[in-house]
Amino acid sequence: MRSKWAILWLLVVLAVGAHQVWFWFSARLDTDVLALLPEDEQAPEVGAATRKLADGASRELVLLVGAKDWEAAQRAADVAREELSRDPSLLKPSALDASSLDVALELYRPYRDRLLTPAQRAWLTRATAEELGGTALMKLYQPAGPRLTDWEADPLGLWPDWWAARAAESTARPRDGRLWLSGEGREWVLLAFHSQVSAFALGADGRITGVVERARAAVTAAVPGSRMVVAGVPLYAEAAASQASNEMSTIGIGSMAAVLLLVWLTFRSVRPILLVGVSLVIGCAVAISVTALVFDRVHLLTLVFGSSLVGVAEDYGFHYFAARQGKPPSERGALMRGLLPGMVMALLTSVVAYLALGIAPFPGLRQMALFSATGLVGAFLTVACWFPHLDTGALPVTPFAQRFATSLARWPRFTSTRAWWTGTAVLALFILGGLWRLKTRDDVRQLQGAPAHLIADQRELGRLLGLPSPAQFFLVRGQDAEQVLEREAKLKERLDVFVADRMLPGYRAVSDWLPSAEQQRADARLSARAEAQAVAAVAEATGEAPTRARFADGVLTPEQLLASPASAAIRQQWLGAMGDQHFSIVMLRGLDAPSLLPHLAEAARGLEGVRWVDKTQEISGLLERYRELMGGLIVLGYVAVLLLLVTRFRRQAWRAWLPTVVGTLFTLAVFGWVGEPLQLFSVLGLMLLLGMGVDYGIFMLEHPGEGSAWLAVALAGVSTLLSFGLLGLSATPALRSFGLTMLLGEVAIWLLTPCCRLPAGKDVS
């Protein structure tokens, strides 16, 4: 009977193994962090917009090299450029040169007459024939000036102004063949590089960071008093990768070593270590296969986080070996049968707690929930079906295990005495006070643990360059491209008020580079009339017969613009057709003051097809919503687990349940007293405490008075503490908060559970 189950499970494991080979060869791993965040069901286009903006920036590295004067800044920029270009397989200078301007000039030249700035439009509408003629004459007789085309093609000299308005979208200006800007007491050269390696393929070795730091050192050495400010996704990606690998190696290897040492001390045998390892590996393999079959792809973070959740499965193995110690091998089958009710109960409560994670419509959490639950079941089945067959040798009781097992008898037990009730009252006061002081925080920044110097550089660069913000923008929707451009124009009229009031440095919209067809035709008519008057006036004054140049018959279309390299500046803002609608993004430059955001949100109100998107606020709001949702689920979870426990333990069920409830409340109270805010990731930790903490109570109730159950609980508690609690050392706020929750909760539950054990000689059954 037993071996039938073992063979059945072997067949499943073989199938999973085959699937694993296919899975790792086809590399169906997902690394995009955005894939973990929920899509806005009402507006999938917002997600598409964010992804497009993120993709556009994912390989760019922007540098400002500054010095006291222009000469020194240029020297410093040369040093930086040379250092950064040293390895062409890593970084390549982005094209910011004059040739791209020439390409743009040629594209726009036939449509010059229909490209007007709002100021020119107003002037041409208002100006008298004398004024137009006079201006044309003055510009004609002027010694020399910026002309971009022949006189006949631009008699009023309007075109340079239009280009100046386009150039005003960046604070950087061409100067001596470079891009220059001045600010914060320095003259700066703007440099841009393109990473040749995908941001998500960057390893932990920080190659780009290394090159940048060498360049920074070279620049400050070559030009005293100079400064280099760098920002770009590749640097963040490298910092995150190296931080993750550092933490994995210190926390991961540290806890692994400690657990192995503990198991060795307890059993003095390699077999438990090997078998528990086998159960964990099979658990993870099952989890990966099931997750891949359900979700098609497995996210890297699911793998990292979920694998540590499956680590809880080592409890089953410990439980078996703790009970097995000192017993003859012939009793293995009976032993396992005796353990099964408790183990199944523990498994059920954990699976319920994990699956509750997946109730929230958070793709990342759903994956992790499924992964952890199936992984746990896989590891459990391995223990239940295989351990009695594979564990054949003798397993004597070790002195360490002996000493530990007998310690249970000396552990205090709750009794109705004055001292215990006083202690309970003090604890209750501590918990109430802490909960009273508990604060919450749902800040998107908790998701990233970027080094402070990177954030500071990013801020400074943004300030100096007036860069558009990728987190806040307007999404414009229309039936077709023409309607999108028309709606953009209406939005810009409102934004111009902010720009005029100097509250906002500016914006960047596709329609600035590509007016709607209707606007182009209107502008063409306006400039044709005004320029005809100007040419006539010049003809009269000079006695010659100059003619106005002919322009293209049609209008400049989105297809034409997008096909040209000239559209590089705005390409990522043009989303084009998605479904039966067209979309574009209007970005805001130099958005510094958070107080402006509500006003901008207000600006979109009443404009059809215009939607204000504040990604930062959206994610924070999302975190808050899920924190509240998960909080509610935890309460429900406790009720469900209690009902489950009552079905088996009847009136003694509280002994397994209460320690976890008190441990959870105690953790929250400590958070309240020390001022650590409650956030989504600490709530997730509480959810896992529910799953694990109750297990200890179940084991203790199932096997009352047995030192081996106590030993298994102790081993499980310490190993969980080591694997999760050490996350409290992480530099990423979310992981640290999660780790702290596990650390405090585990310790409290572990200390409280034996206090609630059954009195000696009593049994639940």
Instruction: By CB under 8 A, name the binding residues for another protein.
Output: 97-98, 128, 130-135, 137-152, 164, 167-168, 173-177, 180, 541-542, 544, 546-547
Say how many C-beta atoms besides its own lie within 10 A of residue 527's C-beta.
25
Least distance from C-beta 173 to another protein, angstroms?
A: 4
Question: Nearer to another protein by C-beta: 139 or 216?
Answer: 139
Would you state the structure tokens that stand for residue 157, as one six-digit string?
């000299």
Question: Nearer to another protein by C-beta: 176 or 296?
Answer: 176
- Short-list 191, 198, 3, CA closest to 82: 191
Q: Which residue has the tokens 């009710």?
A: 341
Contact 54, 470 (CB under 8 A): yes
Would you state the structure tokens that stand for residue 92, as one six-digit string?
């390549």
Least distance from C-beta 595 to another protein, angstroms?
A: 26
Distance CA 78, CA 63 (A): 12
Would you state the structure tokens that stand for residue 478, as one six-digit string?
């229309």
Question: Nearer to another protein by C-beta: 141 or 421?
Answer: 141
Say how many C-beta atoms besides its own lie within 10 A of residue 659's C-beta.
25
Question: Nearer to another protein by C-beta: 164 or 643?
Answer: 164
Least distance from C-beta 678 to another protein, angstroms?
A: 50
Q: H/E element holding 685?
A: helix 680-702
Distance CA 375, CA 357 (A): 15
Least distance from C-beta 502 to another protein, angstroms?
A: 14
Least distance from C-beta 541 to another protein, angstroms?
A: 7
The one-character DSSP state at 35 is G
Question: Nearer to another protein by C-beta: 541 or 568?
Answer: 541
Phi–psi pair at 761, nearest 5 degrees: 85, -15
Question: Nearer to another protein by C-beta: 61 or 158?
Answer: 158
Question: Nearer to another protein by C-beta: 95 or 578?
Answer: 95
Least distance from C-beta 593 to another protein, angstroms?
A: 22
Q: Report the SS3 class of residue 472.
A: strand
Question: Nearer to another protein by C-beta: 151 or 414?
Answer: 151
Buried b (16+ CB within 10 A) or exposed e, 412-449: eebeeeeeeeeeeeebeebbeebeeebeebbebebbbb
Contact 349, 656 (CB under 8 A): no
Q: Which residue has the tokens 């001045």?
A: 182
- Short-list 510, 516, 484, 491, CA closest to 582: 484
Question: Nearer to another protein by C-beta: 532 or 640?
Answer: 532
Least distance from C-beta 122 to another protein, angstroms?
A: 14
Contacts of 379 (CB under 8 A, 6+ apart): 279, 280, 282, 283, 286, 310, 313, 314, 316
Least distance from C-beta 546 to another protein, angstroms?
A: 5
Least distance from C-beta 204 to another protein, angstroms?
A: 40
Beta bridge partners of 614: 472
Least distance from C-beta 43 to another protein, angstroms?
A: 38
Question: Nearer to another protein by C-beta: 138 or 334?
Answer: 138
Strands 91-93 and 186-195: antiparallel
Question: Nearer to another protein by C-beta: 176 or 501?
Answer: 176
Question: Nearer to another protein by C-beta: 55 or 161?
Answer: 161
Contact 358, 369 (CB under 8 A): yes
Distance CA 369, CA 291 (A): 10
Least distance from C-beta 535 to another protein, angstroms?
A: 9
Beta bridge partners of 230: 63
Beta bridge partners of 481: none
Question: Nearer to another protein by C-beta: 537 or 623?
Answer: 537
Question: Nearer to another protein by C-beta: 533 or 723?
Answer: 533
Question: Nearer to another protein by C-beta: 118 or 146?
Answer: 146
Distance CA 90, CA 693 (A): 49
Contacts of 117 (CB under 8 A, 6+ apart): 161, 162, 165
Contacts of 274 (CB under 8 A, 6+ apart): none
Would you state the structure tokens that stand for residue 490, as one six-digit string?
């209406």
Least distance from C-beta 167 to another protein, angstroms?
A: 8
Least distance from C-beta 81 to another protein, angstroms?
A: 16
E runs forming strands in 23-172: 29-30, 60-67, 91-93
Least distance from C-beta 118 to another protein, angstroms?
A: 16
Question: Nearer to another protein by C-beta: 145 or 399?
Answer: 145
Distance CA 112, CA 169 (A): 19
Instruction: Measure Cα distances from 437 to 440, 670, 676 in Å.
Output: 10, 10, 10
Question: Nearer to another protein by C-beta: 138 or 261?
Answer: 138
Distance CA 610, CA 498 (A): 17
Q: Report the SS3 class of residue 656.
A: helix
Distance CA 568, CA 586 (A): 15
Least distance from C-beta 525 to another protein, angstroms?
A: 22
Least distance from C-beta 435 to another protein, angstroms?
A: 58
Distance CA 82, CA 86 (A): 6
- Short-list 682, 661, 667, 636, CA closest to 440: 682
CA 282 to chain CA centroid, Å, is 30
Residue positions counted in the chain: 765
Least distance from C-beta 159 to another protein, angstroms?
A: 12
Q: Which residue has the tokens 């085309």?
A: 149
Question: Nearer to another protein by C-beta: 142 or 424?
Answer: 142
Contact 699, 319 (CB under 8 A): yes
Least distance from C-beta 108 to another protein, angstroms?
A: 15
